[in-house]
Structure 1
Amino acid sequence: MPEPTPLAKAELRQLDANFEHEIENDTWAKVQFNPETLKVSFANQVQTPSGGGDQRGTPARQFVGAGTTKLAVQLWFDVTGQPEGQSGAVDDVRLLTKKVAFFITPKKEGDKFVPPAVRFLWGSFQFDGIMESLEESLEFFSPEGKPLRASVSFGLTQQKITAFVFRPTDAPPPGAPRAPSGKPPGTTPMTPAPQGSTVQGLAAGQGKGGDWQSIASANGIENPRQLAAGQLIDLQAGVKLGVKR
């Protein structure tokens, strides 16, 4: 039986100050769950001239800057789904999100403090910029008060209008059914996903709505909110934790 195709995971990588070379790979951060969407926005810096001349009609606009390109991303982290290459139990989700937060933290360069340049990679998509904002929401806690799940929303910006960068990739097309990774996650029959279903919806139907992210991780599912019709899922998979709701 052929080996399943490895899941392409999005990643943040540090760049040098000239946005040319990837550096310090010990600071790179690989996501647990790939984002559902990526939002890229472009803006030119313009102003409307005032005073003088004929004021009738719509005033002409003048271009006054190089413009900006921005990328908005939301990621999910869960202590029940360990990042690749990490061993040992994690009982606080902030231990997983801190590698993303690294890129919002200014570093001293000469007499100035500036955030590191960062490259966001996912399959054929690449965006280079500076992390200008980051928001982390902690929403699920253990009886000891430790956060177990978090959503991290961040924005990258580049001080110019940039064209899309297409990287070569051998990843399968989006939505293609994927085999579960690693060892079989359970011994119960696999559940085929109906058209338009989600892991959260299927888990809720089995009374396991609070465990949908750990089920997705154990089954090696790239996008828990958009399943391919007929994709087989073990709804008994996932790590059980004692938590309060």
Structure 2
Amino acid sequence: MTGSAPPGRAYLIAHWQAGDSDPIPVQFNPTEMTLEKRVQFAEIAIPGLTAPLQQFVRGQAEVLTLELFFDTSDKGTGAVATSVTTETDKVYSLARIEPSGHAPPPVTFHWGKGFPGENLASELGGQRRESFTGTIVNIRQTFTFFSGGGVPLRAKLALTVNEYKTMREQLDELNLSSPDRTHGHLLSGSDQLWSVAQRYYSRPGEWRRIAEANGLADPRRLAAGTRLAVPSIDSGRRGR
């Protein structure tokens, strides 16, 4: 990538098989964009309860929708008019199949500081972002002004972009804890064994397993900065 977008201008990067494209600036920054994120839960019906339990199943792809405006009428509207497709086709290309990849390329939308998701809670680890990467699943071009000779001079492009992340990227971001693996935990001043057990096992009552694994004579007296071994549930059961 050798080019750069004008300061403050939103732009797209295409992730082609051969490498990333130069920034593709939008002609005018969008006046509105929408981000929609859904998560899927299953209802677990337990007889005798007043409501079913909610079991997290998976996240669904986040969806970015925005409308871009393009206009080349300032270059003339007569015989020498410049078609607005000289701008819009740069974006439309990103919804076409790349022969070497057998699919349209993923794209990343960038637009300044404070991008939605940049200030996520610290508890979410590596899930913060400064841009949005996805695949264009819908593009609608509306041409609204033409020269006398039929050259399109103004257009609106409505884009729908579905979140795109490889499995490796998602696992690295989530850094999920597993009760089936041994973990190390550095105690903070507010930690109690039950809270550590809740974090790694989702079972606060399993604090005794951690106390036994670390030879803690008095589990109520914990020193901040101490590194605890948090044994896996499976290995702990085998040892019982």
TM-score for the superposition, normalised by structure 2? 0.50
Q: Give 1:1-245 correspondences, 5 Å limit.
A: 8-15=8-15, 23-25=20-22, 28-48=23-43, 53-54=46-47, 57-81=50-74, 90-109=81-100, 113-124=102-113, 125=115, 126-159=131-164
CA contact (8 A) 2:106 2:164 kept: no
Residues 64, 32 of structure 1: alpha-carbon distance in 2 compared, 3 angstrom cutoff: same
Q: Greater helix percent: which structure?
A: 2
One-letter amino acid matched to 1:119: T
The alignment partner of 1:71 has SS state of strand
Q: Can you give the 5+ residue segments of structure 2 that lack an aligned partner in the other structure? A: 1-5, 116-130, 171-240
Residues 74, 22 of structure 1: alpha-carbon distance in 2 compared, 3 angstrom cutoff: farther
Deviation of 1:147 (Å):
1.8
Q: CA RMSD in A?
A: 3.0
Deviation of 1:99 (Å):
0.3
Distance 2:48 2:147 in 1: 65
One-letter amino acid matched to 1:152: L
The alignment partner of 1:107 has SS state of coil
Distance 1:139 1:58 in 2: 53
Q: Can you give the 5+ residue segments of structure 1 that lack an aligned partner in the other structure? A: 1-5, 83-88, 163-245
Distance 1:38 1:31 in 2: 14
Determine which structure has more spread, i.e. the larger CA radius of gyration: 2
Greater RCO, CA 8 A, separation 6+: 1
Q: How many residues align?
A: 142
CA contact (8 A) 1:67 1:159 kept: no
Distance 1:136 1:57 in 2: 50
CA contact (8 A) 1:120 1:127 kept: yes
The alignment partner of 2:59 has SS state of coil
Distance 2:81 2:105 in 1: 27
